[in-house]
Amino acid sequence: MIGLRHDAVPERTRRYRVSQEAKWGLTFLSLPSVVIVFFLGFPVAWGIYISLTNLALTGADAVHPSFVGLTNYTELFTSPSFWLSVKASMEYLIGSGLVGQVGLGLALALLIRRLPVGFRQFLMGLIVLSWVIPEIVTAFIWSSYLQTPGGLFDVVVGLFGIVPQSWLYRYPMTFLILANIWRGTAFSLLVFGAAIEAIPKELFDAAQIDGANGVSILGRIILPLIRNSMATALVLITLWTLSDFTLIYVLTAGGPGYATDVLPVFIYQNSFTYYELGYGTALSVVLLLIASGLSLLYLRLVGRDY
């Protein structure tokens, strides 16, 4: 009996310690959970409610808004302007976000790792400089760069015999994509560069001994081992690109026509130009759903440990 009690005491003590640790763990986890619910869950829930009303910025509907149900959503899904805005947002996302920032960032990370350390750090510093500049400053830099006549871009292309023209009017989306690539590629470069540096050098040495070429090393070693970093970069760049407003509004204000009228600009126009806050909030909810859906898709297709 004494032996049984001697064996049972440590087991009860261990269970008590596990129980205490679980209680402390739940206590500490509850604090950030409350903060997340208060600062994220409540605004989202309130936004969904506002999207079901006819709240306006001025007039009687600003003081006494009415509940209109799904009227705002029915209106936006049957509006050609909304679908043109979605189309512009997807063009901007694919061009500047996925192909531009993610693709170019990965390519630069692969190229820079082969350079001497000193030159690599200098080049990284130049690229990161464009990322740390405030977005409004970047917008005005590109606005002056593309100014016609007399802009630097006119001077450069004039050396090749190209006639100056209104570049933001004739090719608005193209230059918006280029400006956003210039501004944001540094982030994906840093993410991919750090992920590639974390790969053990022995794997590259073994692959070279086995006669693997660059394409094989990329497909069999680098890409599988940086999948989580790719998922992170894809999600963050998608969220930032879909919510981009300042750069686009300063350069084109959504024009000409609906060429660059991406969803954030479209939401701003409906909310603060036409004073329809309920309708603008419904557009914001749809944008949130699009961004969330794309993020989940990336995590499922690319992420491995999520």
CA dist., res. 174 & res. 82, Å (int): 21
Tokens of 187: 């982030």
**Has residue 102 got a pLDDT over 70?**
yes
Q: What is the pLDDT of residue 6?
A: 46
Q: What is the mean pLDDT of the chain?
A: 87
Structural domain contains residue 156 = yes
Same domain, 190 and 255: yes
Same domain, yes or no: 45 and 86: no
Token pair, residue 287, equals 């944008």
Residues 275 and 177 in one domain: yes
User: Which amino acid, 25?
Assistant: G
Do 18 and 89 share a structural domain? Answer: no
**Is the bond into 164 cis (omega within 30 degrees of 0)?**
no
Say if residues 264 and 284 touch (Cβ distance below 8 Å). Answer: no
Q: Please tell me whether residues 119 and 210 are part of one structural domain.
A: yes
59-84 pLDDT per residue, tens: 889 989 999 999 999 999 999 999 99
List, for residues 85-101, the tens digit of each pLDDT value. Answer: 999 999 999 999 999 99
Task: CATH number of the domain at 210, please.
Answer: 1.10.3720.10
Q: What is the pLDDT of residues 198-257, one digit of tens each?
A: 988 888 888 888 887 888 888 888 988 999 899 999 999 999 999 999 999 999 999 898
Same domain, 74 and 36: no
Has residue 261 been placed in a domain?
yes
CA torsion 191-197-203-204 (nearest 10°) is 100
- 148 and 229 belong to one structural domain: yes
pLDDT value at residue 121: 81
Residue 106: is its pLDDT beyond 90? yes
**Shared-domain flag, residues 178 and 260:** yes
Are 47 and 80 in the same domain?
Answer: no
Does the bond joining 149 to the residue before it have cis omega, within 30 degrees of 0?
yes
d(CA 78, CA 73): 9
Cα separation, 108 vs 102, whole angstroms = 10
Verify that 40 and 84 share a domain, yes or no.
no
Full domain range(s) for residue 247: 70-301
Tally of domains within the chain: 2
Contact yes or no for 92/177 (Cβ under 8 A): yes
- Does residue 163 share a domain with residue 15? no
Question: pLDDT at position 17, please?
Answer: 57
Q: Averaged over 155-178, what is the pLDDT?
A: 90
Determine the pLDDT at residue 11.
Answer: 57
Give 9-56 pLDDT, tens digit per residue. 455 555 545 566 666 767 767 777 777 777 778 888 999 999 999 999
The answer to whether residues 22 and 137 belong to one domain is no
Q: Is 63 contained in some domain?
A: no
Residue 274 lies in a domain: yes
Rg, Å, the chain Cα set: 26
In the DSSP assignment, the letter for residue 116 is: -
Residue 62 lies in a domain: no
304 pLDDT above the threshold of 70: no
